[in-house]
Structure 1
Amino acid sequence: MSYQLQSTGPPRHPPDPTRTRALREQTATNRRVAAAGTLALLAGIYAAISPWAVHFSRTNPNLTATNLILGLGVAVLGFGLHLAPERMRQLSWTMVPLGMWFIVSPSSVTAAYNVTAGIVWSNSCTGSMVFLFGLIATHAPWAES
């Protein structure tokens, strides 16, 4: 019985510079999306616990429920973006309207007399960050670095 040596793959050629450049760009994009996802995860966790951190859980139960549910949603989106940025990037656009809702929710969910400056600042800062991370994750052309 005779054995013949077979090649294990195509012949080796120098790497294609355009393919290498595209791979580097995709890796940089995925890192940016993963970083935005990690920061969105932290912002979502803060938004979920903010009713107890800013002490409005008893005075504003509707806003407490809103922040808890939406904060957990943003945290789940951020976690998914961190783990699989190439697959979750198409869903990351949802963070943009969630960020806007965090900003307007103190005035639309609660009565005007129950809103304090701490609630407004907490939700405005959190909403602005979620909005920004959503734009970065969706790879908006003007948000590229």
Structure 2
Amino acid sequence: MSQKPNKSIFLADDDADDCMLFEDALREVSNSTELLTANDGVELMNLMETTVPPPPDVIFLDLNMPRKNGFECLEQIRNTKAWESIPVVIFSTTSQEEMVKKVHAHGANFFIRKPGSFPKLKQAIKQVLDTDWAKHSWKPAAENFYYQY
């Protein structure tokens, strides 16, 4: 008899190596978390339409993806009634200040620059999994929004 996963995570990232590393790090942090991946924004939106409800506990969203980028996905998520309250963590290699400000203004919950090491990736995932989204501000102050590991 298999146990129900504690949490459900969606990851949208077009880099297959990044997805594999993320999954490996997630397994080391929590083996009871379900991970569904999408290779681009179009796949993510299809995944959302076919699997929600129930909503994932959190969406990790890369910004630079083909077909539909992370910013376009964030806008669609925040403008869809059934999805608008799902926590979205921007998970990107970019650290351009204007992009960080833009996704903050459009409703992302955190911005995490992709860590350069496996231990730091595990630390970032653990921080997100440990967040009590019921108590977390949906519009975090800018100084509580951007994390660089």
Q: Which protein shows a greater Rg?
A: 1
**Bigger RCO (CA 8 Å, 6+ sep):** 1
More helix per residue? 1
- TM (normalized to structure 2)? 0.26
More strand per residue? 2
